[in-house]
Every structure is written in structure tokens, then in C-alpha cells.
Amino acid sequence: MNPEITVVRPGALTTVQDAGRPGHAHLGVPRSGALDAPALRLANRLLGNAPDAAALETTVTGCALRPGRAVTVVVGGAPCPVTVDGRPAAWGTPVHVPAGAVLDAGTATAGLRSYVAVAGGVAVAPVLGSRSTDLLSGLGPEPLRAGDVLPLGDPTGRTALPGAAPWPAPPAELVLPLRPGPRADWFTAAALRTLFSATYRVSPHSNRVGLRTEGPPLERARPGELPSEGMVLGSVQVPPDGRPVVFLNDHPTTGGYPVIGVVTEPGLASAAQAPAGTPVRFTPG
């Protein structure tokens, strides 16, 4: 049987993601990679894969796949119903899928993004050292479509871990630790108090590029805009409407709006699982 898997149902947005391609921002290339990196690592650990093996990141509606050979799969991240040829299967733990059977990871019951990891990993050709899809630059494979065939790597030979793992629950409230700067002085003292005291909500316009927020605008202390300058993962940029935008993995590497602070990287994983309307609070980090 072929070491590959065929996409039966791609879902709303399913992409190949691994640990990303850091180190290329000077070339204008974002990091990309799994938004919920701990979920990807845990799914790979359960399968005996390398921590950075590529998997599929689904968005809300999941996906369905048909392997050409028998495979072991873990569906983790956002909880969702899992079936194999229509029969219920376990979420969050290794599942055997026979050759030709259809694994279906359904619509998330909480959170946003589920991860479908396969023993051996998804072995599409790497670009700049990563197999990740980057929605901003277009690097890596395109988002999945029905009928796409993805090559699989060879399993490592390490035994999949039995039983369920302690998966974190999606956040009921998103709490983001933030370090002020480098352009906090472009905002009034009242704006900084608002940032750390107000409750924002996740905007439905959020995506892999950035988590947009709805809530009170932040008052500027000085007019005008900056020349483009470098942006890092977690930058909180404030566009003209005054609502903070948290840059996620597919963020641009430069920008001209002032950055009031930076969310520390460990706080970003929960942002991957926060649907529209989730309360957001920024705390001093």
C-alpha cells in the first residue's frame, strides 16, 4: 500500500504545519508553524514522532482523510468527534486506521483548531527547512483541497503511547501576558491603563496572521505613523481604529503602526483556540 493519505473532505481551512521556519525574518519570511504548538508536540509524542513532525491543522470544521496504508493517527488540539468509516473513535489518543478507511475529524466542540497527526508525519517537500503552509507569503503547500494526496514519512519505530493524555481545555477567557514597548510612549497613560484594565473580545476577523480584538480604542499621545520596522511574534500593533491586534505565526515581518507591547510566546498557544467573542485581558508580563 502507498505511504500516502488522500484528502476526502478538506474542511473550512486545513493546512500542513510543523514547528515553522524561524530565522528568516531578515528575508521577509514569517515563522509560520502550528498556532497551538503544544498541541502539535503532544500529538507527535503520543505517536512516537519527532516533536516537530508535520501534521494537519484544521479550523473549526475538521477534515476527512483516507490512508493508502494502515496508519496510526492522533486527533488532538480542539476537541471534536472522531470516526473511522463512520464508527466512533477516540479523540486525543492513538487510533488505528486501516488502509482505505476514512478518518473523519469533525467540527470542534470547543476551541478552533484541531491537529491530525499521523505516525511518520506528513512528508510534503520542505521549503526553507519547514513543511508549514504560510498563508501570508504563500510558502509551503497550499491549503488542502478535496482529492489532494499527501506523502507520509516512515514511522520512527517508537511505540505509540497508550491511553489518553491531559489535553489543555480551550480558554473560556484569554489572558495574555504583555511586556510594554517598544512604542508604548506613542500612547497616553490613560491608554495603557485601558489596555491592562479593559476586557476586549476576539474579533471574527482574526486569522493565522493576527488575533484582532473588539473593545475600547487606545488613545494615541502623538499623531502620524512610523516608517516600517521589524515585527516579532506576539507584537501587539495598534492600527488607526485603536483596537489592539496580536500578531500570530503568519504575521508580516515589518509594519508601520506602533507596537504598544509584545505578548510573551507561551501565552500565544491559547490564542490559537479562542473563538470569536472570547473575552481577552492583557496583563503585565
Note whether 16 and 142 are same-domain residues. Answer: yes
Domain-ending residue, one of 90, 117, 151: 151
Judgement on whether residues 147 and 240 belong to the same structural domain of the protein: no
pLDDT at residue 162 in the model: 65
pLDDT given at position 56: 98
Q: Which element (helix H / strand E) includes 7?
A: strand 4-9
CB 107 within 8 A of CB 78: no
d(CA 95, CA 191): 50
Same domain for 74 and 15: yes
| pTM of the predicted protein model | 0.95
- Helix, strand counts (H, E) of the chain: 2, 20
What is the pLDDT, as a whole number, of residue 91?
A: 96
Question: CA 73 to CA 76: how far, in whole Å?
Answer: 10
Length of the chain: 285
Q: Residues 122, 53: one domain?
A: yes
Q: What angle do CA 21, 24, 28 make, to 5 degrees?
A: 115
- Residue 188: the pLDDT is 97
CA distance 172 to 249: 22
Q: Is residue 189 part of a domain?
A: yes
Name the one residue in this structure whose C-alpha cell is 510543523.
Answer: 18
- Whether 61 and 113 map to the same domain: the answer is yes
Are 80 and 185 in a shared domain? no
Q: Would you say residue 162 lies in a domain?
A: no
H-run or E-run covering 97: strand 95-97
Q: What is the C-alpha to C-alpha distance for residues 4 and 173, in angstroms, rounded to an integer?
A: 39
What domain count does the chain have? Answer: 2
Verify that 185 and 263 share a domain, yes or no. yes
Beta partners for 57? 15, 115
- pLDDT values of the chain reduced to their tens digit, one per residue, 285 residues: 568 999 999 999 999 999 999 999 988 899 999 999 999 999 999 999 999 999 999 999 999 999 999 999 999 999 999 999 999 999 999 999 999 999 999 999 999 999 999 999 999 999 999 999 999 989 999 999 999 999 999 987 666 666 667 888 899 999 999 999 899 999 999 999 999 999 999 999 999 999 999 999 999 999 888 899 999 999 999 999 999 999 999 999 999 999 999 999 888 999 999 999 999 999 998
**Radius of gyration of the chain measured on its C-alpha atoms:** 20
Q: Is residue 87 part of a domain?
A: yes
- Considering only CA atoms, which of 174, 209, 14, 7 is closest in space to residue 107? 14
- Residue-range definition of the domain harbouring residue 69: 4-151
* Shared domain check, 201 and 85: no
